[in-house]
Amino acid sequence: MYRYDEFDERFVRERVAQFRDQVNRRLSGAITEDEFKPLRLKNGVYLQLHAYMLRIAIPYGTLSARQLRQLALIGEKFDRGYGHFTTRQNLQFNWPRLRDVPEILDLLADVEMHCIQTSGNCIRNVTADQFSGVAADEIEDPRPVAELIRQWSSAHPEFSYLPRKFKIAVTGAAHDRAAVKVHDIGLRIVRNTAGETGYEIIVGGGLGRTPMIGKVVRDFLPKGDLLAYLEALMRVYNAEGRRDNKYKARVKILVHEIGIEEFQARVEAEFAALDRTTINADREEVARIAAYFAAPPYEKRPAVSQTYQAARAANPAFAAWADVNVTPHKAPGYAALTISLKGIGAVPGDMTSEQMRAAAGLAERYSFGELRVTHAQNLVLPHVAQDDLFAVWKALGNARLAEANVGLITDIIACPGLDYCALATARSIPIAQALSQRFADPARQREIGPLGIKISGCINACGHHHVGNIGILGLEKRGEESYQITLGGDATENAALGDILGPGLTAAEVPDAIERLVEVYLGQRNTGEAFIDTVRRLGIAPFKAAFLQEIDHAAA
Amino acid sequence: MPLLDAGGRFVADRFHRFNSGEATDHPCVLVSLADLPAVLAVRGDQEIGVEIANTVEIAALAPHFDALALIGIAFPAYADGRGFSLAKRLRRDGFTGTLRAIGPLIADQFAYALACGFDEVELPEANAARQPAEHWVKAAAAFSATYQRGYAREASILDQRRAARLEGRNG
C-alpha cells in the first residue's frame, strides 16, 4: 500500500488546518454561507436531511487494517456505531456533528486518510478495480497511476472550480470491475502492438439524468504523458463545459454536443501546445509510487490447496459461500475474498464498528493487513491463503459477515435515498431490504445466478440504476413514491444502459415485478447463461410483456 | 474597486476605467475589448489594459500582447473557474504583462489565482470589506507545497522529491 512521505503528511495536515480556518471565517462572517458551501463540500461535509454527513476518501478502494480500525473508532465516538460504504469506494458517516468534524479530520490524518475532494465541483476520489494487483486477468496494477492522479488532482490550482464534479476510474484488467465507461474519464491500461503498456482514455461516460457510455478519446497514451494529457483534457472541459445549467455541465454533455471528434481535436491541440516536460511526473517519481504497491511477501504454496478442497467437500455451506465470494488470485495457493455487506434485510454497504474491527483483525491475520472496498459496496480481503479460507469464513460468520451472495440477486447496490439524502425523491434502502428478503433463500439465489440489482432514490443515479441488470429508480409522483424499472444495464466492459420496462410501481409492487422478470429468465435461459446474457439474446420484449401483465394483475 | 496585489496588500489602482467617448489621456487606461482597437489606434505613451470576459478566444488578443500592459479577466462568480484556465493559456501563449482577476473571488482562491499566472485581484467593495488583507495572506500560505508541476509557484512536491533524490545520489 502507498504510505505518505513527509510531503503527503504535511499536505493533509495543512488541509485540516485550512478547513478549521475556513469554518472560523464562516463563523465570523468573512465568507458567506454560499461561499462556504463549496469549501465544506470539497472537504466531504454535506448537509443532509437530518444531519451533516461526512464522506471519507478511500483512494482507489485500498484500505489498511489500521485505517479500518480508526474508522471503527470514529464511528463509535462521533457517529452511531456504524459507517456506510458507497458506490465510489468511499465511506460515509451519517450523523457527525459539524463541530466534531475538525477532530475527525485529525484522527483520519493520523492514519493517512482525508476527506479531500469527496464532493464539490472538482476532481473526485479516484476509483479502481477492487482486485488491483491481485486479478489473474490484469495487464498491470492500476493503483500506482491512481495514486499519481490522486496527488496531482489534490487542490489543483486550475481545476478546483470546474463546471461540475469530475470522476475518474482506472482499471488494469481485461474485465472491467471499475465501471470505467460510466465515468467522466475512464482509464484502461492497455498494451500496444510494440508490447508497451500505456493508457486508453475514455471520456464522457456518466449516469445521472442523462446517462451516457463513455467514448475513446485516445486509444494509446504513452504512460509518461499522462499528467500533461489530463491537464489538456481538463483545460478544455474547464474552459468550455457548460455553466448555464448544472444538469448539462458534466463533460459528457460537452462531448455529446460538439461530438467526440471535435472534443478530441481540441484536447489534442491543447496537448500539442503544452510543454509536457514541465508537467509530467518523471519516471523516478512514478517508480517511487509503484514500489509501494509491490506484491506482499507471499509464501510458496501449491496452486490447489488440499486443505481448502477438503473443507469444501466436508461443508456444503462453506463451499456455497466460496463459490461466489472467492475470486482467483495471481499468486498460487492464494485467493481474494469478498466480504458481503449485504446481509439479508440489512442496509447495503452499512458496517458496524464491531464488524470493522473483526474485518481488520482478519486482514491483519490472513491478508497482509490489507483490505479493499468495492464499488458494489462490499469489502475484500485481497490476499488470503486458500488454506485459511475456511477459518476466515467461520470468523466472518461470527461477525455476521458471511453472507454467500456476492454478485447474486441480493447483492444489491443502493444509494442512501430518502432515509438520509436531501436530494432523494424516494426511499431506496427499504426497497433493497424488501428484495433481499424476497430472494433470501440461498439455494434459489444460486439457482438464479449472477444478477445485479441497482437502486437509486432519485434521478442523480448514485445507485447506478442505469447500469443495473435490473435497475430501480425511485421518483416522486403526485406525492407518492414511484419506482421505474429498467432492464439490461451493464457496468462492465460490455457497458449498456437499461431500457425502461413500463409505468412506475409503488414500493409494495416492486418485489412481485422483479419476481416476474426472474421467472422469464429462468424459463428461457440456455444452460449456463447468465441473466444479462439472456436479456441480450432475447431483447426486452418477453420481459416487458411479463412486467406489463404483472402491472395489470396488480391493478385488477 | 479595491485591488489586492500578489503579496496580499490592498493597493491603489493605477488604471483608470475608460468609458467610450472619453479622452484617453490618462497615463493608464483600462478599456473593454470592444474599445481596444480604437484606443490603440490613437494611443500616446499611455499604458493600456483590457478587460475581457472569461470566454474570449486568445487569438483575438494575441496580436496586441506587446501593446498591452494589463489584461483583466472577469470572474462573473467566484465559482466560475474559467478565468484560471484562460490566465494559464495567456501566460503560455506569451503574455508577460500584468494579469488581473476581476470579480468576487474568495481568499481561498488567491493561491490558485497566483499559481495560474494572475498578479492581482480586483474585488467588489463588499467582498473586500468582509475579507481583510490578512485573510488573503493566510489563505495563500495554507499549503507549504502542492503537487502540480508547471504552475507559477515555489517548487512542487514532485520537484522537491526529485531534488531530494538527486541530492541523495550526489551526497
A274 contacts B143? CB cut-off 8 A? no
Q: What is the pLDDT of residues A255-289, one digit of tens each?
A: 999 999 999 999 999 999 999 999 999 999 999 99
> Touching check for B105 and chain A: CB below 8 Å?
no
Q: What are the pLDDT digits (tens) for B70-97?
A: 999 999 999 999 999 999 999 999 999 9
Examine residue A145 and state whether it is found in any structural domain, yes or no.
yes
Q: Are residues A429 and A377 in the same domain?
A: no
Tell whether the model's pLDDT for residue A235 goes beyond 80: yes
Judge: A7–B161 Cβ closer than 8 Å, yes or no: yes
pLDDT for the residue numbered A414? 95
pLDDT at A29: 94
Percent of chain B predicted with pLDDT > 90: 84
Question: Would the CB atoms of B80 and A35 count as touching at under 8 Å?
Answer: no
A 10 A CB-CB count for A225 gives 18
Determine whether the interchain pair B143/A227 forms a contact, defined as Cβ–Cβ distance below 8 Å.
no
Where are the alpha helices (H) located in A346-477, listed in sequence order? 353-366, 389-398, 429-438, 442-448
Contacts of B159 in chain A (CB under 8 A): none
Measure the CA–CA gap between B127 and A186, rounded to whole angstroms. Answer: 39
SS3 A483: strand
pLDDT for res B20: 76
Ordered by start, the domain boundaries in chain B are 3-140, 145-171
CA distance B136 to B142: 10
Pick from A358, A375, A398: which residue ends a domain? A398
Q: Are residues A394 and A327 in the same domain?
A: yes
* Sign of the Cα pseudo-torsion (A361, A365, A369, A375, in order): negative
* Residue B66, all three cell numbers: 506587446
Distance from CA of A226 to the nearest CA of B (A): 13
| pLDDT for position A533 | 97
Say if residue A246 is in the same domain as residue A213.
yes
Q: Which of A14, A279, A284 sits opposite B162 (nearest CB)?
A: A284
Q: d(Cα A281, Cα A288) in Å, to the nearest integer?
A: 11
In a domain, A272, yes or no: yes
What is the arithmetic mean of pLDDT over A197-218?
96
CATH code of residue A349? 3.90.480.20
Is residue B42 over pLDDT 90? no
A255 touches A249 (CB < 8 A): no
Taking contacts as CB-CB distances below 8 angstroms, the residues of chain A near B84 are 157-159, 161, 238
Nearest CA in chain A to B152: A157
CB contact under 8 A, B85 and A25: no
> What pLDDT digit, counting tens, does each position of A431-441 carry?
999 999 999 99
Q: Which CATH superfamily is domain B3-140 in?
A: Aldolase class I (3.20.20.70)
For residue A524, pLDDT over 90 is answered with yes
Looking at residue A49, its pLDDT comes to 80
Taking contacts as CB-CB distances below 8 angstroms, the residues of chain A near B88 are: 158, 235
Tell me, yes or no, if B138 comes closer than 8 A to chain A by beta carbon.
yes
pLDDT at position A369, please?
Answer: 98
Query: Which CATH number do you get for residue A527?
Result: 3.30.413.10
Give the pLDDT confidence score for residue A355 in this predicted structure.
98
* A554 has a pLDDT exceeding 80: no
pLDDT recorded at residue B171: 61
| Residue-level pLDDT at A556 | 67
C-alpha distances in Å from residue A236, one per residue of A266, A296, B89, B92: 7, 40, 11, 15
- A383 in a structural domain: yes
Three-state DSSP string of chain B: CCEECCCCCEECCCCEECCCCCCCCCCEEEEECCCHHHHHHHCCCCEEEEEECCCCCHHHCHHHHHHEEEEEEECCCCCCCHHHHHHHHHHHCCCCCEEEEECCCCHHHHHHHHHCCCCEEECCHHHHHHCCHHHHHHHHCCCCCCCCCCCCCCCCHHHHHHHHHHHHHHC
Is the Cβ pair B157, A158 closer than 8 Å? no
pLDDT reported for residue A362: 98
Q: Which of A291, A315, A340 is the last residue of a domain?
A: A291
A299 within some domain? no
pLDDT at B169: 79
Give CA–CA dist A150/A44, Å, rounded: 15
Interface residue A367 vs chain B (CB under 8 A): no
Q: Specify the amino acid at residue B147.
A: Y
Name the amino acid, one letter, at B88. K
> Are residue A341 and residue A365 in the same domain, yes or no?
yes
Contact B15, B49 (CB under 8 A): yes
| Cβ <8 Å between A158 and B151 | yes
Q: Evaluate if residue A331 carries a pLDDT over 80.
A: yes
Same domain, A520 and A429: yes
Q: Is the pLDDT of residue B121 over 80?
A: yes
- CATH number, domain of A77, equals 3.30.70
Using CA atoms of A499, A504, A509, A515 in order, give the dihedral in degrees to the nearest 10. Answer: -10
- Give CA A335 to chain center in angstroms: 21
The answer, yes or no, to whether residue A99 has pLDDT greater than 90, is no
Looking at the predicted complex, does its ipTM rise above 0.95? yes
What number is the average pLDDT over the span A448-475?
A: 96
Residue A119 in this model has a pLDDT that exceeds 90: yes
**Interface membership of B164 toward A (CB under 8 Å):** no
Q: Between vectors from CA A124 to CA A121 and to CA A130, what angle results, nearest 5°?
A: 155
Are A31 and A81 part of one and the same domain?
yes
The answer to whether residue A555 scores a pLDDT higher than 80 is: no
Residues spanned by the domain of A356: 306-398
For chain A, give the mean pLDDT.
96
Average pLDDT, chain B: 94
My answer on whether A467 and A371 are in the same domain is: no
In this structure, are A254 and A312 located in the same domain? no
Q: Which residues of B138-168 are buried (b: 16+ CB within 10 A; e: fewer)?
A: ebbebbebbbbbbbbbeebbbbebbeeeeee
Number of Cβ within a 10 Å radius of residue B47: 18
Using the predicted structure, report yes or no on whether residue B55 has a pLDDT greater than 90: yes
How close, in Å, is residue B23 to chain A by CA atoms? 35
- Residue A379 belongs to some domain of the structure: yes
Residue A509 has pLDDT above 70, yes or no: yes
User: Using 50, 70 and 90 to split pLDDT, how confident is the model at A160?
Assistant: very high
Statement to judge: residues A248 and A394 lie in one domain:
no
Q: How many domains does chain A have?
A: 4
A360 and A432 housed in the same domain: no
A418 shares its domain with A549: yes
Q: What is the pLDDT of residues A21-66, one digit of tens each?
A: 999 999 999 999 999 999 999 999 988 888 889 999 999 999 999 9
The answer to whether residues A284 and A324 belong to one domain is: no
